[in-house]
Chains A and B, each alone.
Chain A
Amino acid sequence: MDTTKLQKRAAVSAMLDPKIVMPAIRASFTKLDPRLMIKNPVMFVVEIVAALTTVIFLRDLVTGGAGLGFTFQIIVWLWFTVLFANFAEAVAEGRGKAQAETLRKTRTESQAKLLSGAGRDYKLVPGTSLTVGDLVLVEAGDTIPSDGEVVEGVASVNEAAITGESAPVIRESGGDRSAVTGGTQVLSDWIRVRITAAQGSTFIDRMIKLVEGAERQKTPNEIALNILLAGLTIIFVFATVTIPSYAVYAGGSISVIVLVALFVTLIPTTIGALLSAIGIAGMDRLVRFNVLAMSGRAVEAAGDVDTLLLDKTGTITLGNRQATAFRPVRGVTEQELADAAQLASLADETPEGRSIVVLAKEKHGIRGRDMAELGATFIPFTAQTRMSGVDAGGSSVRKGAVDAMLNYIGGGAPAAVASGNTARAMQPAALSELGREIQAIADDVSKSGGTPLAVARDGKLLGIVQLKDIVKGGIRERFAELRRMGIRTIMITGDNPMTAAAIAAEAGVDDFLAQATPEDKLKLIRDEQAKGKLVAMCGDGTNDAPALAQADVGVAMNTGTQAAREAGNMVDLDSNPTKLIEVVEIGKQLLMTRGALTTFSIANDVAKYFAIIPAMFLAFYPQLNVLNVMNLSSPQSAILSAIIFNALVIIALIPLALKGVAYRAVGAGALLRRNLLIYGLGGIVIPFIGIKAIDLVVVALHLA
């Protein structure tokens, strides 16, 4: 996949990019501040023992002691261990910092046109002085001073500052596209905006904080993992502090530095060092994907999602239905129907209307006609008539929903039946024979997953235009992939159950909710949650807000309303609902990376025991050299090699921590087998090889 390739390149380049590396090296030292280190218990402990051994070393240096060269090397590597951990975190943060810089530039000190009354009188005030509830006017060329809701007007807005997409978007009052973001620029027209966020808590402010990781809260899983690591550290304290007493019994003694080396290599420094880098990189990966998670908790929850609610339109199908067939009634030719349908659609700029004109041309060679030449007047679609058409030269053509058209013709259809739900409502004998025929065709179209559109000329029904939802290419495979991940997909649609079932089958979703109201959605989420499942959904409208808030992962579209954006725990800047799938993958990747490195870190201990224990006791129990399975050259080189390996493995694993362990949708069993093999078994074997190799180098360089 392109995205993962991109991420890989990004991860590797971050390690090499001097713009990130240089500040990161500096940060590795400033992060030594114990007040910062204490947040990471494992590395904090390493810092403490490094500091203590340094003091002891200095004392010995003054008083004069033996083996100072060896002690010095161990101490240097102890400090490196801490620095490498800080470096990992700093590199992860560095990537976000660069992004934050760009964002900060957009937060210029703009002037705001504060409105005093209902008119357009305003006074210029600094943007920073605005408070929630203020009304401001934003005209072409102005930068929107803060987040808000459009209360009047419509304007095209350039949101490149936050989305990176230069094509302008429309923002208008009412409806689902009323939210505007501070720092974006109005290109044309004007809007009246009610401010909804104070300075410092705007969307861009939050973005900056997020990508910088400044206010990063530990996520629940991270907290649990930290407890485990702290617990293991305590266990190894017991294991090491008791050794001197055993040695005394055996008639020997063990130096502090050797004990420290054993202790530091045994405690889970690898995962301890990389844990926060993994978390930051996970958030960062989302940001690169133009998705903003409001908390790390949400990213974790994404990995746990069991049920995905997806809106049909825009996610599963292309946003617009397209005409696919003309279905005339008996006695009317397809050509006649196509001609009338094309005429009725000439002035119809909706994608559906355009697709009828295209189909008429493709199938029947009917060329476009000029409305003015025909002297035609356009009758636009209204919510009351639910039809549109053209009056030209005493003739009138109309097209519209089947029940609305029957009503218009005088078929006696009950008014205001939801579109497409006519099948049963229309059955009564009151229908004319023609009406029944139209109805039969309409049913047929519905069953195949299409939407019927009736066409009439001069009050006579000619037939049905079949509009069809076009299922997005490749979406079926995506759903199959999700199924392999163990995630159930539910399609949400306003269509009638028949149409919904047909599209559901075509797209390959597991289930669907037809004729869904916002309440139905909310209920569905609650039901799933009651079964213990985690639910993810995306939405944009204000009426989606309750469901977005209820869902465990609610991705709000950036184009959506302020209410929706506040309710969700993620915002998709590209407003692409299909992304929900990637969000889940990124969440899984984050958890997997943590698990893989924890397993690796703990598995490493086996080799370290075999390196250090024989070396430690060799002086008084030479027999124990049998345990020196790596055949390390001397006790000193064994201990030094183990501690060098322990430090270097942190650096070696930074790229993996940043780019994450690759996720494959192959089911948990296969995934676990693969990862256990690589990180579990690998974690046992690799240090044996690594420590041996380092030992050879240490001996070659006469370091020990």
Chain B
Amino acid sequence: MTMIGWFQIILFCVVIVALTKPLGWYMTRVFGGERTFLSPLLRPIEAGIYRISGVDERREQHWLTYTIAVLLFHVGGFLVIYGVMRLQAALPFNPVGQGAVAEDLSFNTAMSFITNTNWQNYGGESTLSYLTQMVGLTHQNFLSAATGIALAMALIRGFSRASVRTVGNFWVDVTRCTLYVLLPICVVYTLFLVWQGMPQTLGDYVEATTLEGAKQTIAVGPVASQVAIKMLGTNGGGFFNANAAHPFENPTALSNFVQMLSIFTLGAALTNVFGRMVGNQRQGWAILSVMGVLFLAGVAVTYWAEANGTSTLQALGLTGGNMEGKEVRFGIVASSLFAVITTAASCGAVNAMHDSFTALGGMIPLINIELGEIIVGGVGAGMYGMLLFVILAIFVAGLMVGRTPEYVGKKIEAREVKMAMLAILVLPLMILGWTAVAVVYPAAVASMANAGPHGFTEVLYAYTSAAGNNGSAFAGLTGNTFFYNLTLASAMFVGRFFMIVPAMAIAGSLAAKKSIPPSLGTFPTTGGLFIGLVVGVILIIGGLTFFPALALGPIVEHLAMNAGNLF
């Protein structure tokens, strides 16, 4: 570990914190329907959209109506992607002439994109036409991200409102999020990426003659526009199979740094939106601090593990840490940091191969996702996931002040606990359950590239990534099989929607409650004590469940490696 390495990590944190407040202020205004500096330009478009689609923007929805709207929206999204993929051969913008995508892969990919997972069982440049990339994927990159943020807003409204039946209007939230937040940032961001050297073209792949005189086809396309939303919306699905490790998808150190920032900014800003809406920004900072503590702990472990390398490498005389599977352009710090960020948020973009990380270095991304991606998390999803844990933490320990637990003025009662538990059950069920099936089912075992604990970790990572809607792959596992396409899709589906419905039920139940003014007897939720408590509950309730699996995967691999056994 080096000073300059730590400086990069600290700089990253400082910039995120600095962006949180202004962006939080802006987003609060957008979702509150107030005027912003973009209103003169965008307001007519927004009003036009409502007029054409017949949405009354002043009419708010009951939580159930809101949720049904979300679900219908996803059904539509699914059908579009699936249709385009199956028919891409006959559709325009297919200069390379890609054929129709297989049924199970189309199913998996469509599910992957509507759930904000962006798990890639396909190789982008070898399977998909430009139209599929743009209409199918980039388009869902926007909408699944906007949906996540809209859901977080609905839950935040549940906390901030009192004695009402409505939590907002989904169509309005999605429209405003896309129009005022995602699109403007992406336009600027895309231009920046193009400036950094990223291709943005609808033209054919480029033929190049190499120094040896061989012919090489260089894949290009509308990359920059997709990368912008892939990062900002924590989608993670790469234009190229190599994702952010590909020089065209991540040309420079600066583009790498900005890409990392863009994964976290919206998620971090939502904590500030929460604070503003419940009337005390410190509540938001407290939540960001919980995320910060877990994040820095993860970065420290991964950076330490990667920088120290392994005893095996040292025995071979290789010093300077573990560079296997890392881009030389980015090195150990930027790769470690990127890996922790992309799994803390549910992004899934990668600029290094997590499979090649040391056992412990690769365990942190795994744990990050298994905790529910609440460390900043996916845009919106991280916020509502975190709030579910806060509800549990407050409920468990809040009684210790001698009052029925309450958080930001809302009593936490049976309904909230029931829904939070339901949501939290989802990850262990999907991750541990499917892994248990896959490691003994012969057809699934055949997909493993590695044996022993490492192979186990690959499978565990795949289901973790799918259920957590992360989308990053540990690689090494051949995911494009009938078994994995279907089971991973089911993990993505359950992991997304069985989380959304309970979270929305909580939003509805909280909004209907009275708001209790804080007193000296109220559980203080802005200080270090609260932060420590929530971190503890996340690790014990969210984390310990996976301890047996982790022990059999990365932990035992690490211990075996120290003893000289490799897998």
**Chain A residues in contact with chain B, CB under 8 A?**
220-221, 223-225, 227-228, 230-232, 234-236, 238-243, 245-250, 300, 303-304, 306, 483-488, 531-533, 587-589, 591-592, 594-596, 598-599, 602-603, 605-606, 609, 613-614, 616-617, 621, 623-624, 626-627, 661, 663, 667-669, 671-673, 675-676, 679-680
B552 touches A235 (CB 8 A): no
0 or 1 for each of B399-412: is its CB under 8 Å from A? (1 = yes):
11111100001001
The smallest beta-carbon distance between A671 and chain B, in angstroms, is: 5
B446 at interface by CB-CB < 8 Å = no
Residue ID in chain B nearest A529 by CB atoms: B514
Minimum CB distance partner of A603 in chain B:
B540
Q: Which of B531-556 contact A (CB under 8 A)?
A: 532-533, 536-537, 540-541, 544-549, 551-552, 555-556
Q: For B397, list chain A residues within 8 Å (CB).
A: 595, 599, 672, 675-676, 680
User: Per a CB cutoff under 8 Å, which of A300, A486, A594, A605 touches B522?
Assistant: A486
Q: Closest residue of chain A to B430, judged by CB? A: A238
- Chain A residue with the shortest CB-CB distance to B547: A609
Task: Please determine whether A671 and B425 come into contact, CB atoms closer than 8 angstroms.
Answer: no
Q: Which of B43-51, B309-317, B431-439, B488-496 contacts A (4 or more CB under 8 A)?
A: B431-439
Q: Please report the C-alpha to C-alpha distance between residue A250 and residue B524 in the assembled complex, in whole angstroms.
A: 47
Q: Which residues of A contact B517 (CB under 8 A)?
A: 306, 531-533
A-B pairs with the 4 shortest C-beta distances?
Answer: A595-B399, A486-B521, A588-B402, A231-B421
Min distance, Cβ B76 to any Cβ of chain A, angstroms: 33
Bound Cα distance from A663 to B523, whole angstroms: 15
Q: Does B474 sit within 8 A of A, measured CB to CB?
A: no
The answer to whether B547 touches A486, judged by C-beta atoms less than 8 angstroms apart, is: no
B321 within 8 A of A: no
**18 contacting pairs across A/B (C-beta < 8 A):** A224-B414, A224-B416, A225-B417, A228-B392, A235-B424, A238-B425, A250-B456, A250-B552, A306-B519, A487-B519, A531-B517, A591-B402, A592-B399, A596-B400, A623-B556, A623-B560, A668-B520, A675-B401
Complex: A679 Cα to B536 Cα, angstroms: 13
Which residues of B are found within 8 Å of A591, using beta-carbon distances? 399, 402-404
Q: Which of B516, B529, B545 contacts A673 (CB 8 A)?
A: B529
User: Are B428's CB and A224's CB within 8 A?
Assistant: no
- Which residue from chain B places its CB closest to the CB of A232 in the assembled complex? B541
B103 in the interface (beta carbon within 8 A): no
| Cβ contact of B428, chosen from A235, A243, A484, cutoff 8 A | A235
B461, chain A: closest CB distance, angstroms: 14
In the complex the two chains form, is A605's CB within 8 Å of B540's CB? yes
B396 contacts A by Cβ under 8 Å: yes
Docked-complex contact B545 and A227, CB < 8 angstroms: no
CA of A623 to CA of B546, assembled, Å: 19
Is A621 touching B399 in the complex (CB atoms < 8 A)? Answer: no
B435:A485 contact, CB within 8 angstroms: no
Known contacts A592-B400, A613-B548; A672 and B524 CB within 8 A of each other:
yes
Report the minimum CB–CB distance from A619 to chain B (whole Å).
13
How far is it, in angstroms, between the C-alpha of A643 and the C-alpha of B436 when the chains are bound? Answer: 26
B residues engaging A (CB < 8 A)?
162, 392, 395-404, 409, 412-414, 416-418, 421-422, 424-425, 428-429, 432-433, 435-437, 439-440, 445, 452-453, 456, 514-517, 519-524, 527, 529, 532-533, 536-537, 540-541, 544-549, 551-552, 555-556, 559-560, 562-563
- Output the nearest chain B residue to A612 by Cβ-Cβ distance: B548
Asked if B435 and A242 sit within 8 Å, CB to CB, the answer is: yes
A518 to chain B: closest CB distance in Å?
Answer: 25
Q: What residues on B are CB-neighbors of A227 within 8 Å?
A: 414, 417-418, 421
Q: How far, in whole Å, are A589 and B514 apart by their CA atoms in the complex?
A: 25
In the bound complex, residues from chain B placing their C-beta under 8 Å from that of A623 are 556, 559-560, 562-563
Contact (Cβ within 8 A) A533 B516: yes
A242→B549 contact, CB < 8 A = yes
- Which residues on A sit within 8 Å (CB–CB) of B545? 235-236, 238-239
Instruction: Tell me whether A668 and B524 are in contact in the complex, defined as CB-CB below 8 angstroms, given that A605-B540, A623-B560 are known contacts.
Output: yes
B548, A239: Cβ atoms closer than 8 Å: yes
Contact A228 B435 (CB under 8 A): no
On whether the beta carbons of A621 and B425 are closer than 8 Å, the reply is: no
Whether B516 pairs with A595 at a CB distance below 8 angstroms is no
Contact (A235, B425) CB under 8 Å given A485-B521, A669-B527: yes
Whether A246 contacts B402 in the complex (CB less than 8 A), given A603-B540, A676-B533, comes out as no
B305 nearest CB across to chain A (Å): 16
8 Å CB contact of B433 from A238, A603, A627, A672: A238
Of chain A, the residue at the smallest CB distance from B514 is A532
Q: Give the chain A neighbours of B452 by CB distance below 8 A.
A: 250
A531 to B552, CA, bound (A): 53
A627 touches B555 (CB 8 A): yes
Q: Are A595 and B398 in contact (CB under 8 A)?
A: yes
Select B429's contact among A238, A246, A627, beta carbons within 8 Å: A238
Q: How far is the CA of A231 from the CA of B427 in the complex (A)?
A: 13
Q: Are A617 and B436 in contact (CB under 8 A)?
A: no
Cβ 8 A contact of B404, one of A221, A228, A485, A667? A221
Q: Which residues of A contact B414 (CB under 8 A)?
A: 220, 223-224, 227
What chain A residues lie within 8 Å of B529 (beta carbons)? 669, 672-673, 676
Contact status A246-B435, CB under 8 Å = yes
Q: CB < 8 Å: which of B440, B527, B536 contacts A245? A: B440
Assuming the contacts A242-B436, A663-B402, asked whether A220 and B413 have C-beta atoms less than 8 A apart, the reply is: yes
CA distance A620 to B400 in the complex (A): 43
* Residue ID in chain B nearest A592 by CB atoms: B402
Nearest B residue to A226, CB-CB: B414
Which residue of the partner chain, among B404, B409, B418, B456, contacts A249 with CB atoms under 8 Å?
A: B456
Residue contact B555 to A239, C-beta cutoff 8 Å: no
Q: How far is the CA of A594 from the CA of B399 in the complex (A)?
A: 7
* A218 nearest CB across to chain B (Å): 10
Chain B residues within an 8 Å CB radius of A596 = 399-400
Contacting pair B551 A613 (CB below 8 A): yes
* Contact flag A624-B559 (CB < 8 Å), given A532-B409, A605-B544, A672-B523: yes
Cα A300 to Cα B549 in complex, Å, equals 40
What chain B residues lie within 8 Å of A587 (beta carbons)?
A: 402
Q: Which residues of A contact B395 (CB under 8 A)?
A: 224-225, 228
Chain A nearest CB, measured from B273 CB (Å): 23
Chain A: minimal CB distance from B12 (Å): 31
Question: Which A residues touch B541, using CB under 8 A?
Answer: 232, 235, 602
CB neighbours (8 Å) of A603 from chain B are 536, 540
A221 to B436 CA separation, bound complex (whole angstroms): 36
CB <8 Å contact, B400 and A672: yes
Distance of A349 Cα from B66 Cα, bound (Å) = 72
Is there contact, CB below 8 Å, between B524 and A669? yes
Q: How far is the CA of A680 from the CA of B533 in the complex (A)?
A: 9
Contact B424 A231, beta carbon cutoff 8 Å: yes
Residue of A nearest to B432 (CB): A242
Bound-state Cα–Cα, A617 to B553, Å: 12
Residues of B close to A239: CB separation below 8 A: 428, 432, 545-548
Shortest distance between the CB of B385 and any CB in chain A (Å): 16
Q: Which residue on A lies nearest to B412, using beta carbons?
A: A224
Residues of chain A contacted by B548 (CB below 8 angstroms): 239-240, 242-243, 246, 609, 613, 616
User: A248 touching B432 by the CB < 8 A rule?
Assistant: no
Are B521 and A602 within 8 A (Cβ)? Answer: no
Q: Please, how many angstroms separate the alpha-carbon atoms of A236 and B529 in the complex?
A: 27
Which of B403, B414, B556 gathers most chain A CB within 10 Å? B403
Which residues of B have CB within 8 Å of A224? 395, 412-414, 416-418
Selected contact of A676 from candidates B400, B435, B544, B559, CB within 8 Å: B400
A695 to B549, CA, bound (A): 26
A300 CA to B404 CA, complexed, in Å:
8
User: Do the beta carbons of A672 and B559 come within 8 Å of each other?
Assistant: no
Q: In the bound complex, do residue B439 and residue A679 qualify as a contact, i.e. CB atoms below 8 Å apart?
A: no
B403 x A667 contact (CB < 8 A):
no
For residue A599, give the distance in angstroms from its CB to the closest CB of chain B. 5
The one of A231, A249, A671 in contact with B401, judged by C-beta atoms closer than 8 angstroms, is A671
Q: Could you say which residues of chain A place their CB within 8 Å of the CB of B556?
A: 617, 621, 623-624
What is the minimal beta-carbon distance from B280 to any residue of chain A, in angstroms?
15
How far apart are the CA atoms of A589 and B400 in the complex, in Å? 9
What CA separation (Å) do A592 and B399 show in the bound complex?
5
